[in-house]
Amino acid sequence: MAATNKEFRKRSARPPRVVWLPALVVALAMLMPLAYLVIRSLDSGWVEFFETVLDGGTLAVLANSIVLAAIVTSAAVAIAVPLAWLTARTDLPGRKTWAILAALPLVIPSYVGGFVLVSTLGPRGSLQGALEPLGVERLPEIYGLPGAAFALVLFTYPYVFLTTRAALRGLDPALEYASRSLGRGSWPTFFSVTLPQLRPAIVAGALLVALYTLADFGVVSLLQYDSFSRAIYLQYRSAFDRTPAAILALMLVALTAVILIIEARTRGRARYFQTSGAVRTPRPTPLGKWKIPALAFCGGIVSLGLFIPAGILVFWLVRGVSSGEPLRIVWGAAWSSVSVSAMAAAAALAALPVAILAVRFPGRASGLVERLTYVGYALPGIVLALAFVFFGANYAPWAYQTTGILVLAYVIHFLPQAVGATRSALLQIRPSVEEAAQSLGRSPLNVIATITAPLAQRGIFAGAALVFLTTMKELPATLLLSPIGFTTLATSVWNATSEAFFARAAAPALLLIIVCAVPMYFLVIREREK
């Protein structure tokens, strides 16, 4: 039987050192980019600071960004939750394959995805070309808000999909069975029993989507949406002025703080965990006559987010190769990408103490530590990279432009992805198991290593996978902070697209997608063993 424990017990115990010390180190590391921004912002004094903050144009683009983030986040949730349920809980044919495919749009770098989208769905793009015989002269404009929102939803919904699906699989179905046996239909059961239990996971994913949208530059610039992150990049790119850029970035941090407060409210205070030791594998819900629409839904999303972009890349590759372009497969770059991404994923285990602190020892301080980890994620890559350039070159020249500082930058950038996933998994574990072990004399470290981590492994792995996948496509920090001469798949793609060599960009971009499919595959395969 499962139980819902709605009232969280007040803990008198202080968190053990093995939890709070690493969590504190993580929090301090997160303060680094913030410190940089404050230093830069005040370069030209308070007057300029307030002039920039209160500028009408600045506030207008800030509003644009908020609108975009709200639309993208709601649409991503609306797509991802049904997708997660279909692939985790129903008899959808090929649902494991769908699960891998549906997560993959995440690995398509937004600068590639946006570009492909424009060349396909642009007013005179390839789709129009295909429709021309039917008399279609021009497609409606995709530039601006609709196009930017569309592209961002397609490339970010996997955040919600992955966290929600992980939660669904870790969910004890006993409560649902109880609801069904008491006569409730499948829909009321889903909405009143399943959905509330999924809320922490959905909110964790939605938060990542919202913050990603705020910080993304690739899509908004290609689809010409006047967003806040674009304003920040413009300062660097055309004005060579770091002060206004830093001030704008600080405003983004402030906006993030507001979003985190909203998130804390939506997260809900309810706690759900299983009482029985083993999670039962739920019976898949038969789809019946809904099978075809469900397949069409999955197929549509995966086509837009993965097949079409990948197909266009293949088309560019073939067109290039057939006109004499040599096919260059960059194995070296692929290996570099995989090795730094794996290091970042391993280092992202630093999320565990933060998540334990937040879940098991809720309070002001632990909440602050957890939320601080989102600072690095909410900042556009270039801002974070320059913070590390500043600190690295001036205070740690021995580490500057080494793999070490690069991985540190990745972790600070992407850690919240792991924190969110780990946190959702911890919420499903009943603390009494840990308490029992502790009362039997095990040390806190021993409890974490032998009980908490193994029980939360699904969330930990999902978090590490997210960090891995996003590191694979990371660009600005890689360009500025990597050891000199270091090339990854992402830098190879960038290198080619910056000069419009589509054919040359296609090969590394496709390799990037294929390499990322491997960890996704294992993530899904692992589930079968359980």
Partner 1 sequence: MRSIKLLMAMAMLVALAAFTAACGGTEEGGGGNGGRGDGGNGASEESAMEESMAEESGMEEEAASSGEAESLTVYSGRSAELIGPVIDQFIEESGMEVQVRYGDTAELAATILEEGENSPADIYFAQDAGALGAVAQEDLLTELPEEVLSPVEDRFNSPDGEWVGISGRARVVSYNTEALTEEELPDSILDFTDPEWEGRIGWAPTNGSLQAFVTALRITEGEDGAREWLEGIQANNPTVYEDNTTTLEATAAGEVDVGFVNHYYLFRALDEQGEGFGARNYYPRDGDVGALINVAGAGILQTSDNVEEAEQFLGYMVGEDAQQYFADETFEYPLVEGVETSDELVPLSEIETPEIDLSNLDDLEGTLELMEETGVL
Within 261-320, the residues that bind partner 1 by CB under 8 A are 319-320
Nearest Cα to Cα of residue 282 among 156, 168, 379 = 168
- Tell me how far apart the alpha carbons of residues 331 and 394 are, in angstroms, rounded to a whole number: 34
Query: Could you tell me which stretch among 73-81, 155-163, 220-228, 249-257 binds partner 1 (CB under 8 A)?
Result: 220-228
Q: Which residues contact 295 (CB under 8 A, 6 or more apart)?
A: 92, 93
Q: Which residues contact 459 (CB under 8 A, 6 or more apart)?
A: 166, 170, 421, 422, 423, 424, 425, 426
Residue among 221 and 428 whose Cβ is closer to partner 1: 221
In this chain, which of 89, 95, 165, 504 binds partner 1, going by CB under 8 A?
A: 504
453 forms part of the interface with partner 1 (CB under 8 A): yes
337 in Cβ contact with 489 (< 8 Å): yes
**Backbone dihedral region for residue 268 (phi beyond 0: left; psi -120 to 50: alpha; all else: beta):** left
237 in Cβ contact with 446 (< 8 Å): no
Please, what is the minimum distance in Å from the beta carbon of residue 384 to partner 1? Answer: 12
26 forms part of the interface with partner 1 (CB under 8 A): yes
- Tell me how far apart the alpha carbons of residues 395 and 408 are, in angstroms, rounded to a whole number: 15
Residue among 20 and 157 whose Cβ is closer to partner 1: 20
146 forms part of the interface with partner 1 (CB under 8 A): no
Please, what is the minimum distance in Å from the beta carbon of residue 283 to partner 1? Answer: 25
Residue 273 DSSP symbol: E
488 in Cβ contact with 462 (< 8 Å): no
46 forms part of the interface with partner 1 (CB under 8 A): no
Nearest Cα to Cα of residue 297 among 466, 121, 157 = 157
Please, what is the minimum distance in Å from the beta carbon of residue 331 to partner 1? Answer: 6
Query: Could you tell me which stretch among 8-16, 74-82, 198-206, 393-401 binds partner 1 (CB under 8 A)?
Result: 393-401
- Per-residue binding string, partner 1, 233-252, x by CB under 8 A, is -x-xxxxxxx----------
410 in Cβ contact with 476 (< 8 Å): no
Residue among 141 and 284 whose Cβ is closer to partner 1: 141
Residue among 347 and 520 whose Cβ is closer to partner 1: 347
In this chain, which of 86, 103, 149, 222 binds partner 1, going by CB under 8 A?
A: 222
Q: Which of residues 460-499 bind partner 1 (CB under 8 A)?
A: 476, 479-480, 483-487, 491, 495-499
In this chain, which of 15, 105, 109, 122 binds partner 1, going by CB under 8 A?
A: 122
- Tell me how far apart the alpha carbons of residues 370 and 23 are, in angstroms, rounded to a whole number: 8
Q: Which of residues 331-390 bind partner 1 (CB under 8 A)?
A: 331-333, 335-336, 339-340, 343, 346-347, 349-350, 352-353, 382, 385-386, 389-390
Q: Which residues contact 10 (CB under 8 A, 6 or more apart)?
A: none
- Tell me how far apart the alpha carbons of residues 94 and 99 are, in angstroms, rounded to a whole number: 9
Residue among 171 and 343 whose Cβ is closer to partner 1: 343
52 forms part of the interface with partner 1 (CB under 8 A): no
Task: State the number of binding residues for partner 1 (CB under 8 A).
Answer: 91
In this chain, which of 12, 181, 394, 439 binds partner 1, going by CB under 8 A?
A: 394
158 in Cβ contact with 104 (< 8 Å): yes
Query: Could you tell me which stretch among 20-28, 266-274, 364-372, 436-444 binds partner 1 (CB under 8 A)?
Result: 20-28
Length of the chain: 530
